[in-house]
Amino acid sequence: MQELVQAAMNGDRRSLARTLSALENRTINLEQIMAIVGKPVQATKHWQSLAITGAPGVGKSCLLDGLLTVWAQQNLRVALLAVDPSSPRSGGALLGDRVRMTVVDDPVLKERIYLRSIATRKASGSVPLIVADMTQFLLALGWDRVVIETVGAGQAEVRCAAIADRILVVEGPARGDGVQAEKAGLLELADAVIVNKCDLPGAQRHADELRESYELGTGTTPPVLLTSALHGTGVPEAATMLLDLESSGRSERARWRERLLAHHERRILESSKLDDVLKELAVGSMTLDDAILSIGEMNDE
Ligand SMILES: Nc1nc2c(ncn2[C@@H]2O[C@H](COP(=O)(O)OP(=O)(O)OP(=O)(O)O)[C@@H](O)[C@H]2O)c(=O)[nH]1
Ligand SMILES: [Mg+2]
């Protein structure tokens, strides 16, 4: 494992892929890897991880292709972690079956880009945790930025997004139903929103609706931009805006809420006392409140 991680540090892509697989399969943990890497992730004045999330087919991958191209042309080294949905809709399609990234066709740019998909249906353990660990590892290896693509507004996806420093929500043109309530939680997490497919009718209207609904709420309104990933319209502007994106106050709180919930869940699931607690709960000799307390005490020891 030592040799593998060192080869990854020296830029060998196959070793990098194998180390990430080991993290994904939990055959190695982040602490062990970081002990080999030997240097912590350096804080920078910009974000280091950005989650891109939105409904299936809204154009996230197409948009990312454009964004990664611009960033790579500026000499940035960017890694993309695409979290593959386990939903029956796609049957857990792999990255290769989805949109093709053209940025890797350029022999110079491809050296500055790393693409990796994470198959959620195969993952053993918490996907947000795996994504967080992979992100830290990539940053420690010197990748400038890590971008995480997740699909949908389900709890697991929101949790994956919440591990990132910034969250970009991608939307499509208006479908005439306004801003739906079930999306409110996701929009609350957004540091920026891009309405993609602006070559189709309804995009401008949806951008207006979004701005309006943000203005009705409390806190700052995140930037709302229009792009057509298909034609490249607005993509360079979006790339520039995103590079220096600040966290909106509201998203910061929402993000920590998700992280706290994820952390709590992980503590319970990883507790050595879990089996005993479940047995006691099942026979009624313990209350749920006692169970939480008991697991908490155990972990504090
Ligand atoms: N008209 C139009 N079509 C677009 C645009 N961007 C993407 N598409 C098309 O939308 C489809 C889905 O694009 P993807 O980039 O794969 O969307 P995605 O959000 O990554 O999809 P999932 O990863 O499956 O959730 C593709 O057929 C694209 O060609 C756009 O700006 N305008
Ligand atoms: Mg995609």
Residue of minimum CA distance from atom 10 in ligand 1: 59
pTM, two decimal places: 0.88
Predicted confidence at residue 124, as pLDDT, reads: 60
Residue 58 in contact with ligand 1 by CB distance below 6 A = yes
For residue 229, which atom of ligand 1 is closest to its CA? 31
DSSP assignment string, the chain: -HHHHHHHHTT-HHHHHHHHHHHHTTSS-HHHHHHHH-SPPPP-SS-SEEEEEESTTSSHHHHHHHHHHHHHHTT--EEEEEEE--STTTTS--GGGSPPPGGGGSTTGGGGEEEEEEETTT--S-HHHHHHHHHHHHHHTT-SEEEEEEESSSHHHHHHHHTSSEEEEEE-S--SS-S-GGGHHHHHH-SEEEE--TTSTTHHHHHHHHHHHHHHSSSPPPPEEE-BTTTTBTHHHHHHHHHTPPPPHHHHHHHHHHHHHHHHHHHHHT-TTHHHHHHHHHHTSS-HHHHHHHHHHHHH-
Residue 98 in contact with ligand 1 by CB distance below 6 A = yes
Test site for ligand 1: of 62, 204, 231, most ligand atoms within 8 A of the Cβ: 62
Residue 197 in contact with ligand 1 by CB distance below 6 A = yes
Residue 62 in contact with ligand 1 by CB distance below 6 A = yes
* pLDDT by residue, tens only, the chain of 301 residues: 899 999 999 999 999 999 999 998 888 989 999 999 998 888 888 999 999 998 888 999 999 999 999 999 999 999 999 987 654 444 444 444 456 789 989 999 999 999 998 877 666 667 888 899 999 999 999 999 999 998 876 777 788 888 999 999 999 998 766 666 667 778 888 999 999 999 999 999 999 999 998 988 777 889 999 999 999 999 999 999 999 999 887 788 888 888 898 888 878 887 899 999 999 999 999 999 999 999 987 554 4
